[in-house]
Structure 1
Amino acid sequence: MKILRNSLKILVVLIILFAAFGWYYKITLEPKYAGELVIENLKEEVTIYFDDIGVPHINANNQQDAYVALGYVHAQDRLWQMELIRRIAAGRLSEIFGKDLQRVDQFFGGLGIEEAANKTIANLDKTSPSYILSQSYLNGINQYIENGKTPLEFNLLGIEKEKYTLKDMYNVFGYMSFSFAVAHKTDPLLTEVKEKLGASYLEELLSVESKYLTINKKSVPKEINATISNAVNAIMNDLPVSPFIGSNSWVIAPEKTKNGKVIFANDPHIGFSQPSVWYQNHIKTPDFEIYGFNIALMPFPLLGHNKEYAYGLTMLANDDLNFYIEENNPDNSLEYKTVNGFQKYKFREKTIHIKNEPDTTFQIKVSKHGPIMNGLIEHVVDERPIAMHWIYTQLPNEMLEVSYGISHSKSLSDFKKAVSKIHAPGLNVMYGDAKDNIAWFSSAKLYQLRDSLSSKTYLNGASGEDEILGFLPFSENPQAINPDKNYVYSANNQIDTVRGKLYAGYYQPQDRAKRIVEMLEQKNNFTKKDVEEMIYDVKSSTVSEISNNLLKYVDKSKLSPSEKMAFSILEKWEGTYLKSAVAPTIYNRFLYEFLAATYKDELGESFDLYINSQLQDQALPIQIDREKSVWWDNVSTKDKIEKKEEIIHESYVNAILFLQNQLGENVEGWTWNKVISVEYEHAIGKAGGVLRALFNVGPFETIGGNEVINNQIFKLDSSGIYKVNAGPSTRRIIDFSDVDNSLAIVPTGQSGRVFSKHYKDQAEKYLNGEFVKMSINDADVKKGKNVLILKPKKE
């Protein structure tokens, strides 16, 4: 008994010591939200009020001090995120994660992002406000590195902290630009469809019908294995940082609002991760104010507002990346053919440092069109040299000036001038102001190719006939300012004509755009509450029509009672993705079976890539309409030519059989919440176990689905389980009749520090469609209980 008592005493002591150690470790890693700090390079004292969700409200007497402060607090909440994102374009992930990410480093290291950054930085105006304030921001980050608390992730992975430079900032611009691009996923696939299956297969995939387009109008037989696109897609999936995907935005003019002032809404769609993509902050000086949403290592917000105007963005989805087939000199593989004779390839050498492994060095061969992809991606079997021509690295980069300009504009005219400098990625930039103006600008360096040339398959690099003929002036880009319909919107949908024809791109299907227009056309007295409900909407404007068009070809007389019940549920579906709905579960499995039966025999390993592309989304309703199609025939059944009716009926029966095996015989129990979920994964939490429980947020049930306004993006595959991997990275609503009470929400929380109370304090609200206030009123801001004073260091 005595031994037992002593053992219990020892156990209690150990528990107390462990708890004390955990408590001490936790408080030493929490961000500092209150108190005083002495900071170098400040001219005057800066006061930072942290609100209830951890957003810093920075009050300074000049902008340089404000941006030093922003860099410091941004780093204390998001230094780990900064570290990850700066390493991607530089090819430095293997240093911390090991050889598994070597192929990612080799790919990004070869794209020319760093070389483009060096060229841009060498030509920057060192006296410009954007340069001076960027250096102040970097100074704040680097002071935190010197004096602040090291994030847990650095300790776990043994990372030495390094100071940040402008080059790191430009590497982030480069990564962001590449993740917006779509051509690298589809151009190689389409080229192989054309070359291995024939032009008729390609034409059906690329055909467009106007009845399936909501156009953003301006006012003013061999198996396919697309090795490049499959490899790049796998690389993007391996990244520990979120890729940029899509977005919604709409701005309502005073004539359509109850209070007679502009209402602005925006929810950019980005891959989900933890921490959340955006860092909220509010800067106020005597001559400047902005409430912004910043990406890691970007001093100027890409989303923002103040009492005078609001702005945001969606992905334009224009084609700013092309592939060229080069032709080597048969007598000298170091040269390639041009219209002016053979030209020498340029060579770049890169070294990758790999954790616990020897360094590896590789060489990039570069033509005038760009890097040769055969050397950058493993398993590229095409014997022809394939060069990637990317507008981002080909033209001067002014993104620092752009981001400064849009956040510091004094008028709509200033704002338009700033967005006109965007070259890549292409963006739909949305605008609304207190003076009753609304605007949409498609902002990119649009270009012209010769007539009839498609940029969606490989171009001829040797002939000289497939080169860009010229870039269009910004005045010709589709845009709208105060249009008669009294609203502007964007959902990554097809933009209006350029020089008499629709401009080519990788636009999303009309689903979200159509739904936005439907809802905006319903009334002329919108309130902020109406827009809150609209931005959380989960009704598709197209899927009920698509599913009913498929059901027309299902022979009901041959169905079992369970199959008939499922048929009835799907037939009556209005397209709403609620947790308790059964129809979405049936529809998505039916859709998968239909796509597999139609395309998988020809596409082979590239099938999963195709069915999760915007190309498939665009082609789907058109394909269902076709009575005759080269895709209907199953190439594996040589003695039989399949008909559309047979394919669709069999797909439906297979879908119901799958769901019975997955979810049981009770059709009414096949609710959407049983197959869809969302988890916000941290790069370290992906390891699973205790690390998953500590770092990840979720999993949760969710409402929504692919291509509804509350876009919960998942990959359709054979599993029948839909893990949401992307969606609204923030939801923002600014009502200029009550701008002090504007609203926002992010998926998890403001802080990236796992022990901060703001690590995941917005998660439940986000999932429920709730919002928190974006305070810019002085009285509200100064109610904050946590106040951090930054004092200048005395000489």
Structure 2
Amino acid sequence: MKKLKKVLLVIAGILLILLIGVYIFINSLKPDYDGEKKLSDLTGEVNVYFDMYGIPHIYADKQEDAFRALGYVHAQDRLWQMELLRRVAKGKLSEVFGKDLLETDKFFLSLGIDDHTKHTVSQLDMQSEMVVLSKAYLDGINEFIEKGPTPVEFYLTGLDKEPFVLEDIYDAVGYMAFSFAMAHKTDPLLTNIKNQLGEAYLKDLAIMSDTSTVWIKNYNNTVSDSLETNITASVINVMEKLPVPQFEGSNSWVLSPEKTKSGKVIFANDPHIGFAQPSVWYEAHVSTPDYEKYGYHIAGVPFPLLGHDRNLAYGLTMFQNDDLNFYYEQKNPSDSTKYRTELGWKDYEYVTKEIKVKDAETISFMYKKTRHGPVMNGVAKQVSGEIPIAMSWVYTKEKNEVMDALYGMTHAKDIDGFKAALPKIHAPGLNVMYGDADGNVAWWASAKLYTMPDSVSTKFILDGASGRQEPLGYLDFSKNPSAINPPWNYVYSANNQPDSIAGMLYPGYYLPENRARRIVALLDGKNDWDKESASKMILDVTSPVNPQLVTELIKLLDVSSLSDEQLVQVDALKNWDGAYTLENTNGLLYHRCEYYVLKNTFEDELGSEQFKQFLSTHLMKRQIAWGTKMKEGSWWDNITTKNEVETRNDIVLKSFADAWNSIVNDFGSDPNQWTWDKVHTLEHGHPIGRVESLRSFFNVGPFPLHGSREVINNMAFPYDSTGFYKVSAGPSTRRIIDFSDVENSISILPTGQSGNPFSKHYKDQAKLYIKGEFRKMMMNREEIQNKAESKLVFKPKSDF
């Protein structure tokens, strides 16, 4: 008995030691928000105050010191996110996640982002202020890598930490540029429709923006081959596997003094980006005697893409311009190493890359390039066929000065200095929104915009051999769409079509008018806006378009064939105001019907795979309202039914019946149970959270949430046969800056400031975000010091 007790005591002692060891280990992985640290190359002390949400307020005497401290604190909260983001363009995801990401790595390597980055960095002036501050930021990251705790994800994946370099900054920006591009999902699909089905089917698609839709108005004030389908499928497949969020859309509006209660500018912005954990933005307030910015940073980039100070505020939405084209190349029948141009045969350029694969041999692969860009055949396994198709992308063709643009934007003192930086943005195309304390409001569409020969549409795969479908040249930035202090007293963007420029409508992949129409209606109807009403507007969940579609389609229903329960719900839909609240039942029935209308209209011609691709495009979103109003058209007939020609009425009747049956199967026959909260949910997924046993630890959510796709509170979700709308993208932050009271401006993040799951700031904003609440963006130093939860002091090594 005594021996047993001794054995039990020994076992208990071992377990206690193990528990203590685990506790100590876990605590060692947490970010360090207080105390003193020495930091290399500092010229003076840097004080970092962390507020109650873990946002650093960095005070230094010199910008270089401030950016070193920024790099350190950014890395201790987001090093894993930084690591993944820099790996995308380099084709190094397979090294972390194994062979499942091999196709993704091949695709991104073939885009040439990393090669373009190397060329760009080789041409930089290393003494420029932009480079000096960028290197200081990287020094801070690398000091944390060397001396700080290793994030748990590195232990779980067996990955070693490696220093960051300038190339990593540009590769992160390059990935952001490609994730905006919509051409890769649309152009090959449209070409395939043209080749397989003919011009009549194209005529009935909303390829170009409807001339009756809501456009952004300018105002200048001196102040047949199956290969196409495979390309689309391939790109969608590799993008779906990415372990980092994609950039998608956005809202922003800036109100002139004439529209506000205080007589001062109010700025609002909520960029729409794929939800992930951690969320995309890292907030930081940096203050020195000659620089101050409260900014939003992407992982590994020193200058904030969104920001404000006491003088000005800026933000971004996606322009959605067409900066990526595909070209058919003509092979030389007697020499496979050459392709045809208008000047004769030209040699392919061959590029060989190696990809390290976790738990497998290193892979070597080769792709070829033409003058247009990489040939997609062979890059991904789905892409096969005889006709070479090359991808031409503005980002890798033109000089890359995006970082210089960001430096200029963040350091501008007024509207003129700010505008001067914008021509350096070549890609991705951005709607840059601006407001300042002097009462100026402005919008600029910033991108390298090119012109094409007459009658050439960039929405299809182009002829690469003749030279007759090549860009003619770039527009001067002064010809880009813009509005500066317009007489209607506001500027806005909802990724919708801008008005004509240089005598033409610039081609793009613009979103439908839904959000734009609601924004314009709300802004036009009120001239006493304040922070509270603006914050209410940014949470608006009402669609002005969907109830009109319901009214149109209900007319086509044969009410005599409907049951009493169906008649009640149809009547409720008829009186629906378009609001997507959690308890509402109309939204569920509407979206089920909408999905089945799309399915019953397009899937018979496109087939299941192409139909899935169609659902992923902005074209589909524009088609919903535009196409539903078409009384006649090629798509309405179901080509699989013999001796019958279906009409719009037939499709609507069948779709309503299909939708009704699917909802009854899912939720029962009581329509009171068909509430929006049962189908519309959000889970912030961490890459490690894909492992089911670790999901609850790394992921945040799921939560039911109000809103929907293409309302101001835009919660995007994919349409599929499940009928459950798992939100994939939405407001990555909501910001309201009121220049009558800048220090009380407000914001929110979807989950939390930290990407470290052991930090108390990993998900401390998640419930606030779901509830539509905000928190203060503090800028007053005395208030920050008095309310700070902790203080971290960085000192030069010489002080120790």
SS of the counterpart of 1:794?
Answer: helix
Q: Which deviations, in whole Å up to 9, do the C-alpha atoms of 1:206-262 show, x marking residues without a partner?
A: 455646511000001999981111110111110000000000000001111001100
- Consecutive unaligned residues in structure 1, runs of 5 or more: none
Counterpart contact for 1:325–1:460, Cα < 8 Å? yes
Change (3 A) 1:434 1:384: same
Looking at structure 2, the residues matched to 357 and 65 of structure 1 have their Cα atoms a distance apart, in angstroms, of 43
* Alpha-carbon distance in 1 for matches of 2:204, 2:253: 32
Q: 1:424-435 alignment to 2 at 5 Å?
A: 424-435=427-438
Please tell me the root mean square deviation across aligned C-alpha atoms, in Å: 1.8
- Quote the offset at 1:638 in angstroms: 2.8
CA distance in 1, matches of 2:522, 2:163: 49
Secondary structure at the residue paired with 2:364? strand
Contact 2:494 2:516 in 1 (8 A): yes
Q: Aligned match of 1:595 in 584, 593, 598?
A: 598
Q: Distance in 2 between matches of 1:791 and 1:3?
A: 56
How many angstroms apart in 2 are the aligned matches of 1:458 and 1:688? 41
Change (3 A) 1:724 1:13: farther
Counterpart CA distance in 2 for 1:338 and 1:296 is 41
Matched, 1:29 2:33: no
Q: CA deviation at 1:22?
A: 3.7
SS in 2 for 1:428: strand
2:666 equivalent in structure 1? 662
TM-superposed CA distance for 1:547, in Å, is: 1.8
Find the residue that maps to 1:282 and give its secondary structure.
strand
How many Å apart are 1:16 and its aligned residue?
4.8
Partner SS state of residue 439, structure 1: strand
Mapped to 1, the partners of 2:441 and 2:18 lie a distance apart of 58
Q: CA offset at residue 639 of structure 1? A: 1.8
One-letter amino acid of the counterpart of residue 200, structure 2:
S
Q: Percent identity?
A: 49
Whether 1:562 and 2:565 are equivalent positions in the alignment is yes
2:382 is matched with 379
1:700 to 697, 700, 703: 703
1:65-115 deviation digits (Å, cap 9, x = unpaired):
111111111111100000000000000001111111000001001111111
Contact in 2 for aligned 1:553/1:645 (Cα 8 Å)? yes
Q: Which runs of 5+ in 2 are unaligned?
A: none
Which of 372, 386, 391 is matched with 1:388 structurally?
Answer: 391
Alpha carbons of structure 1 residues 458 and 287: separation in structure 2 relative to 1, 3 Å: same
Specify whether residues 509 and 5 from structure 1 end up closer, same or farther in structure 2 by C-alpha distance, changes over 3 A only.
Answer: farther
1:785 corresponds in structure 2 to 789
Q: 1:736 aligns with which of 739, 763, 767?
A: 739
In 1, Cα distance between equivalents of 2:386 and 2:240 = 26
**1:543-582 correspondence runs (5 A):** 543-582=546-585
Hey, what's the Cα distance between the residues in 2 that align with 1:9 and 1:533?
61
Equivalent position of 1:470 in the other structure: 473
Instruction: Measure how far apart 1:562 and its partner are.
Output: 2.2
Q: TM-score, normalised by structure 1?
A: 0.98
Query: 2: distance between equivalents of 1:12 and 1:662?
Result: 51
Deviation (angstroms), 1:17 = 4.7
Structure 2 counterpart of 1:407: 410
- The Cα shift of 1:612 comes to 3.3
Tell me the distance in 2 between the aligned counterparts of 1:224 and 1:342: 23
Task: Kindly state the Cα deviation for residue 502 of structure 1 after the two structures are TM-superposed.
Answer: 1.6
1:8 Cα shift?
8.8
CA distance in 1, matches of 2:227, 2:178: 25
1:90-239 superposed matches below 5 A? 90-208=90-208, 210=210, 212-220=212-220, 226-239=229-242
Shift of 1:14: 7.0
| Structure 2 SS opposite 1:699 | strand
Alignment of 1:26-105 (within 5 A): 26-105=26-105
When normalised by structure 2's length, the TM-score is 0.97
Q: 1:768 to 1:10 in 2, by over 3 A?
A: farther
Cα separation, 2, equivalents of 1:688 and 1:408: 45
Letter in 2 for 1:95: E
Shift of 1:786: 0.6
Q: In structure 1, how many angstroms separate the alpha carbons of the residues matched to 2:529 and 2:23?
A: 49
The CA distance in 1 between the partners of 2:443 and 2:392, in whole Å, is 28
Contact between 1:712 and 1:724, CA under 8 Å: does it hold in 2? yes
**Among 645, 649, 653, the residue aligned to 2:657:** 653
Note the 1:273-312 alignment, pairs <5 A.
273-312=276-315
The worse-fitting range, judged by mean Cα deviation, of 590-599 and 379-388 is 379-388
1:636 aligns to 2:640 (yes or no): yes
- What residue number does 1:678 align with? 682
Amino acid at match of 2:40: E
* CA–CA separation in structure 1 for the residues paired with 2:119 and 2:216: 36
Query: Which amino acid is the alignment partner of residue 60 of structure 1?
Result: A
Using a 3 Å threshold, how does the CA distance of structure 1 residues 350 and 632 change in structure 2: closer, same or farther? Answer: same
- Aligned residue type for 1:417: A
Deviates more, 1:121-130 or 1:316-325: 121-130
Q: CA deviation at 1:516?
A: 0.7
Q: What amino acid sits opposite 2:775 in the alignment? A: V
Distance 1:601 1:410, change over 3 A: same
Whether the 8 Å contact between 2:191 and 2:228 is mirrored in structure 1 is: no
Task: State the aligned residue count.
Answer: 794
> CA 1:6–1:762 in structure 2 vs 1: closer, same or farther (change >3 Å)?
farther
C-alpha separation in 2, matches of 1:563 and 1:8: 68
- Which string of whole-angstrom CA distances, capped at 9 and with x for unpartnered residues, describes residues 380-426 of structure 1? 23321000000000000001101111100011011111112110000
Matched residue SS, 2:687: coil
Report the counterpart of residue 241 of structure 1 in structure 2: 244
Give me the whole-angstrom Cα distance separating, in 2, the residues matched to 1:382 and 1:603: 19
Aligned to 1:443: 446
**Greater mean alpha carbon deviation, residues 610-619 or residues 78-87:** 610-619
- 1:354/1:253 Cα in 2 relative to 1: closer, same or farther (>3 Å)? same
Distance 1:666 1:6, change over 3 A: farther
Residue deviations 1:259-281, cap 9 Å, x none? Answer: 11000000000000000100000
SS in 2 for 1:226: helix
8 A contact 1:40–1:793 mirrored in 2: yes
Choose from 510, 517, 520 the match for 1:517: 520
AA in 2 matched with 1:681: G
Work out the CA distance in 1 between the residues paired with 2:795 and 2:571.
69
1:397 maps to what in 2? 400
Q: In 2, Cα distance between the equivalents of 1:34 and 1:262? A: 37
| Equivalent-residue separation in structure 2 for 1:602 and 1:4 (angstroms) | 76
In the alignment, what sits opposite 1:718? 721
Structure 1 residues 12 and 662: CA distance shift in structure 2, 3 A: farther
Partner amino acid, structure 1, of 2:394: I
Where 1:567 maps in the other structure, the secondary structure is: helix
CA contact (8 A) 1:193 1:224 kept: no
Tell me what 1:421 maps to: 424
Partner of 2:322: 319
